[in-house]
Amino acid sequence: MKKNYENITYLDYNATSPLREEAARAVMETMNAPHNASSVHSLGRAAYKIIEDAREDVAALVHAPAAQVIFNSGATEGNNTVLRHFANERILVSAIEHPSVLEAAPNAEKIPVTPDGVIDLAALETLLKKKKTGLVSVMLVNNETGVIQPTADISALARQHGALVHCDGVQAAGRMVIDMRLSHVDFLTLSAHKMGGPQGVGALVLNLCGITPTLLGGGGQEKKARAGTQNTAGIAGFGAAAKKAAADLKKFISHTKELQVKLELKLCKINTGGNAVVIHSVNAPRISNTTLFSLPGAASETLLMAFDLEGIALSNGSACSSGRVTSSHVLEAMGVAPDISAGVLRVSTGWATTENDIEKFLAAWEKITARLNQKKAPERKNA
């Protein structure tokens, strides 16, 4: 399938990733027929098989039994489903969660993070000791910084204090190994479109705690865990993307790591006129596809528009739905100074990113920062 964005250098995989060819094919083939998995006729049975095959593929990606995968409309729904289930209990969430977690649990207490953006385990332990807790929710990989959280330690602490654990695995799935058998995470949320599947489909993966949080009632779909006619085509695309992501995982990690190292080395060498670039969370364990950095004193919005004019799509990292650049609660929780967080940019790469894309980004960065310096120069003269 021909891309209709061939003139754009796409470096915003954490916002959404391009649809993988395998996923596009699966969606198109499935959409070709009226598929409702609840129908008893042959087309209904075919839809049922498509969904169960996809369930196997998504389960395999995170090493969970297929029966524990519940398809839904995406991670926003998955996060709301879990967090709202525990609304009458004490909930602890990390201060750097995605808004779909934070807004689903407005009364939750916040677990602080270190200046590098890693969950403060000592603070978590103190919070857990204070009062009985129903749920601890910490994401596996932060969407802005790319920091990989110590979920094994978090789960162990939560268990010791009788709390269950929810993990938003959106930015990790298909980009690092996730093993539900070893993780002791009770609920994992996934989203297809971050791994090359279509938008508007995701999954809640349950572990063995025996609780099935349910948000939507109605028909008995997804074993009564999520009512509503299944998005058969979307689920087919999700399954295809998960299968390809699992098969290519090693390649993905080594490819994006290589790009990340090159990008960060060169980024630090480019003369930005006295204000050195700050790479956030550089000392923490990070996913290989994400680099969050700031140019102190600059404005993200201006930089993003300048990149856009150069045909390069990236982000400032913080989640927004209105197309406007918003300030980052993640950087605030890390204690990053406002003049540094105001000039933040996120490069997030994927399987289709090339070395040439990184070179184009760096050339544009050199050009944009040189222009900013030229503008600053007369001010200095007049001062």
- Kindly tell me which of 184 and 194 has the beta carbon lying closer to ligand PLP: 194
User: Would residue 167 show up in a list of annotated catalytic residues for this protein?
Assistant: no
Residues that bind ligand PLP (CB under 6 A): 74-76, 98, 100, 139, 143, 168, 170-171, 191, 202, 319
Q: At closest approach, how far in Å is the CB of 99 from ligand PLP? A: 8
Question: Toward ligand PLP, which CB reaches closer, 76 or 230?
Answer: 76
Among the listed residues 167, 209, 268, 320, the single catalytic one is 320
Cβ contacts of 342 within 8 Å, gap of 6 or more:
294, 298, 299, 300, 327
C-alpha–C-alpha distance, residues 368 and 307, integer Å: 8
Alpha-carbon span 36 to 52, nearest angstrom = 13
DSSP-based three-state secondary structure for 265:
helix
Closest CA to 376 of 295, 316, 263: 295
Q: Report long-range pairs for 209-217 (Cβ below 8 Å, ≥24 apart).
A: 209/164, 211/85, 211/164, 211/186, 212/70, 213/81, 213/82, 213/84, 213/85, 213/86, 213/187, 214/81, 214/85, 215/77, 215/80, 215/81, 215/84, 215/85
Rounded to a whole number of angstroms, the minimum distance from the CB of residue 251 to ligand PLP is 23
| Residue (143 or 328) nearer to ligand PLP, CB | 143
Q: In terms of CB distance, is 141 or 295 closer to ligand PLP?
A: 141
Distance CA(205)–CA(27), nearest Å, equals: 22
Q: Residue 382 CB, nearest distance to ligand PLP (Å)?
A: 44
Mapping DSSP to helix (H, G, I), strand (E, B) and coil, where does residue 147 land?
Answer: strand
Output 272 or 353, the one with its CB closest to ligand PLP.
353
C-beta of 200: minimal distance to ligand PLP in Å?
Answer: 8
Token pair, residue 96, equals 């750097």
Q: In the complex, what is the shortest distance from the CB of residue 202 to ligand PLP, in angstroms, rounded to a whole number?
A: 5
Minimal CB distance residue for ligand PLP = 74
Positions annotated as catalytic residues are 320
